Structures are given as C-alpha cells and as structure tokens.
Amino acid sequence: MTAADQRPLPRGLALASLACAYAVATSGTILMPLIVAMLMRRFAIGEDLATGVAGIEILGVALACALLPHRIARAPRRFAAAGAVGAVLAQAAGAWLPSLAAVGLARGVAGLCEGALFVVVASSLSHGAAAERAWGGVILGAGILDGALLLGASSLPPAWADRWLFVVFAAAFALLAWPSARAGSVAAGVAPARPGERLRWRTLLPIWTLLILAYGVLAAQWAVADVVGQRLGLAPATSGLLLSLASVLGIAGCGVAAHPLSHAWRQPIVVVALAVMAASALGFFVARDELGFFAAQLVITLAFYALTPMLTARLSALDSDGALVARSVVVCFVSVALGTVLAGSLLARLGSLGLGLLLALCACAAIPFTRAALTDLAPPIFNPPATDLP
C-alpha cells in the first residue's frame, strides 16, 4: 500500500458515532447470557435450545458480514439508518411475539441489522494510517455502553425481565439510533482506495492465525467457566456475575491501543498480551478460590482486548472498503464456535490442568506469527471482485 492510499482517520464526534454504531453491532455477544436466561424462563426450554435461538442473532451478523459488505459500503448512509432503526424494531418485537420461532426470526433480523452497522464502522476506518488508536477508542467506547446496558439489565427482577427485557434493549438502542445512523455519513466520506493486486495469503494468514488462536482460547475458557466455578464451590449465579463483571472491566484493555504510541509498539504489545493470555488461561484452571477465578478471567480479558484492536487496525490498513475486516469477523466467529464446542469434551478428557496447559500452548503458539502479521511490507489493498448477493 502506498502513502497515497492512506487517509486521515475520524476523530471527535465522528469517532463517537462509530462507537455508538459498534455498540449496537456487537451487543449480541455481550448481552447473550441475559437473553438465554430470559428465553429459558419465558418459554420453559432448556439452555441448549435457548442458546441456539439467541445464537441466530450472531448468525445474522455473520451473514451480513460475509455476503453483503461491498453492497453496504457502497450505500453506507442508507444501511446505517436501516440498521439503526431495524435493530430497535427487532428488539422491541421480541417482547410481544408469541412463539419461540417468531422470537428466533426477530433475533435473526436484529443480527442482520447489527452486521450492517459493523460493516459501516469497518468501512469508515478502512485504508487508514495507524488505525490502532481509532479502533481502540471505538471498541472502548462501545464496551462502556454495552457494559452499562448489561449491568443495568442484569439488575432487573427476573419476572419483570421475562416480559420487558427486549423493550429495555430497544429503548437503549433507540438512544443510540441517531449517532449510529450518523456513522453512515462518516463512511460515506471515505473515498474508495485504488484497486491493487489481490492480497496474498501469506500476508493475510498470519493475521487470521493470531485472531483464530486468541478468540479460540478466550471462548474455550468462557465455555467451561461454569464447570470450573462449580468445582470451586461457586453457585452458577455467582460464576455468571463474576464473568460478566470481568467481561465489562476487561474492555479497559482497549485503552492500550488508544494510547498515542500504540502503533509504534504494536508488536511488543501483542506479544506481551499473548503471553499474559497464556499465563491467565493456566491460572484460571488452577485457581483455588473465588478471587483467583475472577482475577484470571479479568486478566485474560484485559489482554485479549489489548491485542484485538492492533490486529483489526492491521486488517483495516489492508482493506479497501471494510469487506476484509467484516469477513475476518466470520473467521473469528468460527473460531469461537470451535472453542466453545470442543472445550467441554477436552476438559473431560484432559482435566483442568491439562486443558489449562493446552490453552496456554495455543496462546504461545500465536506469538511467532506476530512479526509476519504486523510488519509493514507495503502489501496491496484488499480489493477482490464483488461477491455480494444481487
């Protein structure tokens, strides 16, 4: 990528609009525990079925990111407005829809709207110079908004939440709707990058390898956290509260990327973050009390959020219109799904110490890819042929 392809990044109110849009776009993963618990009570179903219905929202995000990024990037104002309004309506509809199938359909629509907003944010930061600070600020701001919503909704009485939880989400998204829609104007002001050669796999694979291993390690640890908590004598409600608190506080790790020197120090930051993830993963499974359980989960989440803006910024630097970042999200979702599915069986076969060692080794295995992933070798901008649905 030549210097001419680089451009200034959004600041101030424009960056705040992107943070609001990103908060709506990523709310599904943050709020899923509350949605699953509510669906279990409201429809008297098991956790597996409730998780599957809530997960339709994530599928909607993945579909939008995989199939529609070029179309969304070509009309960001329209899709940002539609995504912001559609997310509000889809959330509100869930409170009155009578059947589980109808609620599942509403979750899918919400996911498509959230995916559109994600692509708009990715497009706004595409082919930008040293985007670590921008991504750090966006993810940190969005995390504060989603974290406040998570903690506030968690305090609702269960009987009240069973009926009105989706209305609470809709009201919160309505407050974010105008700045989220304004994100489309930020993206519309981004001139498309000049087409270049096709991005080579040797440039992309190290970045994806880092993302796959980091997301997989965190997802696997989360997947068995309840089992580990029970072995420590923690009630499921206590484990859930500690995990939610660690998730909210861990977003502060994005502050590392938001520092002015983050771009110059990005390789050491990612290496240290991966090493901390390895140590925390092992420490989580050998914890002996509630404090150790919480501390290990908090530290691994802080490290995870310290490194992900660095990798996302690297993808943005190679991206012409947000499509590469959007499709990389699908890769991360696959990694999360694999980590979640495999964690339980691996814990049963390897035991706590064995699984902790395996996750630590996975985090350490990512370290050798850091240099190849983050070294500037002036690669061409990612600009593949359009593959969106007609």
pLDDT tens per residue across span 319-345: 888 889 999 999 999 999 898 889 888
pLDDT of residue 191: 57
pLDDT of residue 198: 61
- Between 150 and 189, the higher pLDDT residue: 150
Q: For residues 301 and 29, what is the distance between their CA atoms, to the nearest angstrom?
A: 14
Distances from the Cα of 266 to the Cα of 243, 273, 328, 374, 376, angstroms: 28, 10, 19, 8, 12
pLDDT of residue 322: 85
- Between 386 and 61, the higher pLDDT residue: 61
- In terms of Cβ atoms closer than 10 Å to its own Cβ (0-12, 13-18, 19+), residue 190 is buried
The DSSP 8-state label assigned to residue 45 in this structure reads -
Helices (H), the chain: 12-25, 27-43, 47-67, 69-74, 76-93, 100-124, 132-154, 158-188, 201-223, 225-231, 236-250, 254-257, 266-285, 290-318, 323-366, 370-374
- 226-265 in b/e form (b: 16+ CB < 10 A) is eebbeeeebeeeebbebbbbbbbbbbbbbbbbbeeebbee
- In terms of Cβ atoms closer than 10 Å to its own Cβ (0-12, 13-18, 19+), residue 47 is exposed
Give mean pLDDT, residues 34-57: 89
Residue 265 makes CB contacts below 8 A (sequence gap 6+) with none
Q: Is the pLDDT of residue 388 over 50?
A: no
Q: Is 330 left (phi over 0), alpha (psi -120 to 50) or beta?
A: alpha
**pLDDT bracket for residue 4 (50, 70, 90):** very low
Contact criterion met (CB below 8 Å) for 309 and 136: yes
382 backbone dihedrals φ, ψ, rounded to 5°: -70, 115
Q: Among 310, 382, 312, 316, which Cα is nearest to 123's?
A: 316
pLDDT of residue 29: 85
Distances from the Cα of 346 to the Cα of 294, 343, 351, angstroms: 22, 5, 8
Please name the residue that has the structure tokens 């694979």. 205
- Between 3 and 16, the higher pLDDT residue: 16
Question: Between 236-250 and 290-318, two packed helices, what is the crossing angle to 10 degrees?
Answer: 40
Q: Among 24, 31, 224, 189, which Cα is nearest to 118's?
A: 24
The string of pLDDT tens digits covering residues 53-80 is 999 999 999 999 999 888 998 899 999 9
Sign of CA dihedral 94, 106, 335, 203: negative
The string of pLDDT tens digits covering residues 88-115 is 999 999 989 989 999 999 999 999 999 9
Q: Domains (ranges, CATH) in the chain?
A: 11-188 (1.20.1250.20), 201-374 (1.20.1250.20)
Q: For residues 122 and 209, what is the distance between their CA atoms, to the nearest angstrom?
A: 20
- What does pLDDT average to over the chain? 87
Contact criterion met (CB below 8 Å) for 357 and 234: no
Q: For residues 8 and 127, what is the distance between their CA atoms, to the nearest angstrom?
A: 9
The string of pLDDT tens digits covering residues 282-321 is 999 999 899 999 999 999 999 999 999 999 999 988 888 8
Q: For residues 297 and 221, what is the distance between their CA atoms, to the nearest angstrom?
A: 8
Q: Is the pLDDT of residue 193 over 60?
A: no
The string of pLDDT tens digits covering residues 121-144 is 999 998 777 788 899 999 999 999
Q: Is the pLDDT of residue 162 over 90?
A: no
pLDDT of residue 238: 83
pTM: 0.89
Q: For residues 169 and 91, what is the distance between their CA atoms, to the nearest angstrom?
A: 6
Q: Is the pLDDT of residue 364 over 90?
A: yes
Q: Is the pLDDT of residue 376 over 90?
A: no
At 195, list the tokens.
């087409």
Contact criterion met (CB below 8 Å) for 40 and 47: yes
pLDDT of residue 37: 86
Give mean pLDDT, residues 5-12: 68
pLDDT of residue 318: 86
DSSP assignment of 178-212, as one string? HHHHHHHHHHHTSPPPPP-SPPPHHHHHHHHHHHH
Contact criterion met (CB below 8 Å) for 344 and 206: no
DSSP assignment of 198-261, as one string? PPPHHHHHHHHHHHHHHHHHHHHHHHTHHHHHHHTT--HHHHHHHHHHHHHHHGGGHHHHTSTT
Q: Is the pLDDT of residue 381 over 60?
A: no
Contact criterion met (CB below 8 Å) for 244 and 231: no
